[in-house]
Structure 1
């Protein structure tokens, strides 16, 4: 197995950390094998990137046969679109090194958690296209082929997680309706959006489930394939829902522990289509 580490220069002088786990090919099996890949984007309200939503998620997908990468993107005081450009560069790296890392460049998904879900969706939809072009990226060249989201920050409207947008846009953003609309994902889902898998809990007290419901409605209107799973209990930031991945070693939430296999099964079907 290859362990990969790169540093991505942020457009504001910050640095993002890009980590990868790539399964090597074997002469006993298939030396030409190219595996699908997943870019993991942890959450943290654009103020930090969660350990619990980084390597544990990458290793789960790695164990299912996916090459797995993690982006530790720049957070506050970095502002939009710093993290978006870093996510684009992470996707560019994966596809540029597809031969070296045994990746099928046409089957690269991203999975984002909470505010990391907002970043993943910003990259996957048309929301960030103008900003990507302004910084030298072809949006279609860095767009993932599938989008997976866990309790994502989606809307900047009534049901917004205000803390995420405060960190993303800075303290002076509240009076700028155009800036808020530009990063409200449900307003930017259209034909370029890849298939979507999303899960949320009905009792999330931090990022209301309405974020996911609005996402699903927007996907339906745009004709974007979407699979959604709503769980009856559990607060925000559950990661895998296991004791090992919970805040402070809290007890797990059994009802949500099905989501990783559901996501892996969905991704397999999506990439086989």
Structure 2
């Protein structure tokens, strides 16, 4: 039997200074990153390089190194819940706006982030805090996310997440089935050429977000394989196949969206 206490997560912060001669009282949004890796490992390409990019756009960042296989659901989800509470606690000391905490996820990390969007107010996480509303992310940024356990599933991600219960439980963790009016706002992007996690994953989610009138923005880029991260030289692979000019603007698009959501939340 796998128990939660056997696994540990790590939360790494990348924080901005508040300068006396600019704005000493400024509090910035924080973006909490969940790297991808198919629930088998964690992609370095979707962690620190992305954090540095987001820093350049004016945000605080934290990267969650969550537990992967043999850890099974809901261990990583609960680790993300604890990370959210840790960030809220850090906001008492550092210039973080506790009302502007966004969760970003890539691929399987996108499934984790989206799962958190579905389960933040459910009994599964209720024991983490007396104020369950403290778990609610301000918004989600989902990059080529694993979403569905149906026809378009990324089979190995669900196998590692659910183990022997995969056939029994994968439909229950299909995020498109879990969207309610309490689901957070979402920024989503994918590529049409993704052969690992089909773009239909994002489309199924967007369809439900629109139906439930959840504030969302979706970008479909025509070119590029799965796992592009920033699409720049900084996050290129040893094979040199992970640079893509089409997608390189997504962080700026997401930053504009984050600022818009932040303004709405006051």
TM-score range, shorter chain: over 0.9
Compared CA separation, residues 79 and 128, structure 1 to 2 (3 A): farther
In the other structure, the counterpart of 1:266 is 257
Compared CA separation, residues 99 and 24, structure 1 to 2 (3 A): farther
Q: Which residue among 152, 163, 175 is the counterpart of 2:167?
A: 175
- Equivalent-residue separation in structure 2 for 1:26 and 1:127 (angstroms): 34
Tell whether 2:86 aligns with 1:93: yes
Q: Which residue among 123, 135, 157 is the counterpart of 1:130?
A: 123
- Equivalent-residue separation in structure 2 for 1:58 and 1:227 (angstroms): 21
Q: Which residue among 191, 209, 223 is the counterpart of 1:201?
A: 191
In the other structure, the counterpart of 1:109 is 102
| Conserved? CA contact 2:81–2:128, under 8 Å | no
In the other structure, the counterpart of 1:151 is 144
Give per-residue Cα distances to partners, 1:197-222, cap 9 Å, x unaligned. 00000110000000000010010111
Structure 1 residue runs without a partner (length 5+)? 1-9
| TM-score (norm. length: structure 2) | 0.93
Give per-residue Cα distances to partners, 1:86-129, cap 9 Å, x unaligned. 10111101111102121100011111000000000111224772
Correspondences of 1:63-78 after superposition (within 5 Å): 63-78=56-71
Compared CA separation, residues 46 and 157, structure 1 to 2 (3 A): same
Q: Which has the higher helix share?
A: 2
Q: What RMSD over aligned residues (CA atoms) do the two structures have, in Å? A: 1.6
- Equivalent-residue separation in structure 1 for 2:4 and 2:129 (angstroms): 12
In the other structure, the counterpart of 2:6 is 13
Give per-residue Cα distances to partners, 1:149-200, cap 9 Å, x unaligned. 0000001111100110011011x22431xx2232111111111111110000
Compared CA separation, residues 39 and 147, structure 1 to 2 (3 A): same
- Equivalent-residue separation in structure 1 for 2:83 and 2:130 (angstroms): 12
| Conserved? CA contact 1:127–1:182, under 8 Å | no
Give per-residue Cα distances to partners, 1:1-36, cap 9 Å, x unaligned. xxxxxxxxx823111110001112222223222111
| Conserved? CA contact 1:37–1:103, under 8 Å | yes
Stretches of 4+ moved more than 4 A in 1? 134-139
Give per-residue Cα distances to partners, 1:217-264, cap 9 Å, x unaligned. 010111101100001111100000112202225141111111111111
Tell whether 2:195 aligns with 1:212: no
| Conserved? CA contact 2:119–2:125, under 8 Å | no
Structure 2 residue runs without a partner (length 5+)? none
- Secondary structure of the residue aligned to 1:12 is helix
In the other structure, the counterpart of 2:213 is 223
- Secondary structure of the residue aligned to 1:229 is strand
Compared CA separation, residues 145 and 189, structure 1 to 2 (3 A): same
Tell whether 2:176 aligns with 1:186: yes
Aligned residues: 261
In the other structure, the counterpart of 1:248 is 238
Compared CA separation, residues 24 and 166, structure 1 to 2 (3 A): same
| TM-score (norm. length: structure 1) | 0.91
In the other structure, the counterpart of 1:7 is none
